[in-house]
Structure 1
């Protein structure tokens, strides 16, 4: 008769099941998140080249696509490059599946506006069309704001 505290499934089988299921589950989540705006952004602004070596790089940046409750929020998981020609965006490695690199030429930016939500300073980048606005915060927000102000001078 088995002991009352014995598991009905061996621990090794549970570990193997987890190791097999987790990547599938993770990819499903990333696919759903990409469908909340990144896919439209990447289709409208595909990066046909890597950023130039001279581009300013900002690691672990934060952005949201749109401002609704259903918006995808990439908190601290975006690498960004700013160059005179435009802005490159790509999620950090664990979040890259289903998220192609994006290149947004500065000429395609319709407006850049600073706004406040509670205690946070945000920058909204409007691109127009079917593409959701980019809502930036932190170092990336300030860098985009500085870059667009310098272009207007």
Structure 2
């Protein structure tokens, strides 16, 4: 049997075998799987997944849009990947499509915000607040989202 394996290994079939086409074919699948896995993991670590259960997007009307916004949910920073739509009943929070796995759009009613505080980070003013009762997660967003809504002091 060992003689057969040695003969097979030294044969012309294996000598001409090139693994690059297989690597090139599998790389996009492996990359996409890892990307989706990391996005799902971040949604669980930050609390997005828990918020999605309590605050699913219901298509509420919104009158202001803020694109390429940054925010923080729990331990996870969302730098320039958030789209926020603000309206009379609350705000819709969505992540750009490439980062969407595990992050369904949310609709947060204004009255779901608890313990809002304003923080300054260099020239930015941020509002940090808890969501849900009992607390589900802590969210931090730019103050301009809340301008004219009367939800923060």
Using structure 1 for the length normalisation, give the TM-score.
0.77
Query: Deviation of residue 116 (structure 1)?
Result: 2.4
Q: 1:113 to 1:16 in 2, by over 3 A?
A: same
> Residues 34-88 of structure 1, C-alpha deviation per residue, up to 9 Å, x if partnerless?
10110111112111x2242x5211111111113xxxx011111111110010011
For residue 138 of structure 2, the aligned residue among 133, 139, 149 is 133
User: Which residue pairs with 2:101 in the alignment?
Assistant: 97
C-alpha contact (below 8 Å) 1:51/1:81 kept by paired residues: no
Q: 1:22 to 1:43 in 2, by over 3 A?
A: same
Query: Deviation of residue 11 (structure 1)?
Result: 2.9
Q: Distance in 1 between matches of 2:125 and 2:69?
A: 14
Q: Secondary structure at the match of 1:43?
A: helix
CA RMSD for the aligned pairs? Answer: 2.4
User: Which residue pairs with 1:147 in the alignment?
Assistant: 148
Q: Distance in 2 between matches of 1:112 and 1:10?
A: 57
Unaligned stretches of 5+ residues in structure 1 = 2-7
- Report how many residues are paired: 136
C-alpha contact (below 8 Å) 2:110/2:151 kept by paired residues: no
User: Which residue pairs with 1:5 in the alignment?
Assistant: none
Unaligned stretches of 5+ residues in structure 2 = 1-9, 11-16
Indicate yes or no: 2:43 matched with 1:34: yes
C-alpha contact (below 8 Å) 1:63/1:136 kept by paired residues: yes
